[in-house]
Amino acid sequence: YNVPGRTGQDIKPEIIMQIAGHEHFVGVKECMGHERIAELSSKGVACWSGNDEQCHESRHKHGAVGVISVTSNVVPGLMRKLMHEAPNDALDAQLQPLYTWLFTEPNPIGVNTLLMQLGVCEPVFRLPYTFTSHTAREESVALVKKIGLEHFPAGPKGLQVLADADFKHVLNGDDA
C-alpha cells in the first residue's frame, strides 16, 4: 500500500524489493505513477495502480496488473472494461471528469456523496466527513447522465440531487 498522499511516506522501490521475496507478499498498490509501476513490474512485482485517473495507461502501457479503485464503486462494469479488455482511450477520456469529481474532496467524500445520490445507501456521514457542496452534487448528476445512468448502481429512488437537509451526520456507525 504505497499511497504517500494518505500515509505521508513513500515506500521506495528498494524497500519493496527487500520484502518482495516474503511468502506473504503478493504485490503493491502503487500511487507514485507510471514510472514507478514500470520499474517495479519490470522486476516481477505485481502492481495495482492506486490512481484511478492513471490506471488505464498504467495497466496497458506500464505493466500494472489492475487497479485498486474508488471509481469502481460507481461504474464497476466500465472499470472492468478498462482493466480487462483491449485498451480503450475513448472510455478512459470519458471517465476523466468523473475521476476528477470523485477526488476533488478527500476520499471517501465524493464516492459516498455520489452513492447516496444514486440511492444505494442512506445519506449519512460519519464525522469528520461531510457531503459535497450543492453545486458539486449537481455537477455529479450531470456527469452520471453524460456517462449513462445504466453504468451506475441505482436504488429505488434513482438518481437525484440531494438537498443539504437530506444528509445526517453521526459520530459513529452505531447512531446511524
Report the amino acid identity of residue 151.
H
Q: Do the bridges between strand 47-49 and strand 168-170 make them parallel or antiparallel, or are there none, so unpaired?
A: unpaired
Measure the CA–CA gap between 108 and 70, rounded to whole angstroms.
Answer: 8
Among 1, 12, 145, 146, the one annotated catalytic: 1
Q: Residue 167 in contact with residue 131, Cβ under 8 Å? A: yes
Active site residue 81: no
Tell me if 65 sits within 8 A of 46, measured CB to CB. Answer: yes
**Residue in 77, 86, 79, 83 with CA at minimum distance from that of residue 65:** 83
Q: Sign of the C-alpha dihedral, residues 151, 99, 61, 3?
A: negative
Measure the CA–CA gap between 154 and 173, rounded to whole angstroms: 23
157 catalytic? Reply is: no
Judge whether 158 and 119 are in contact, CB under 8 Å: yes
Catalytic residues: 1, 29
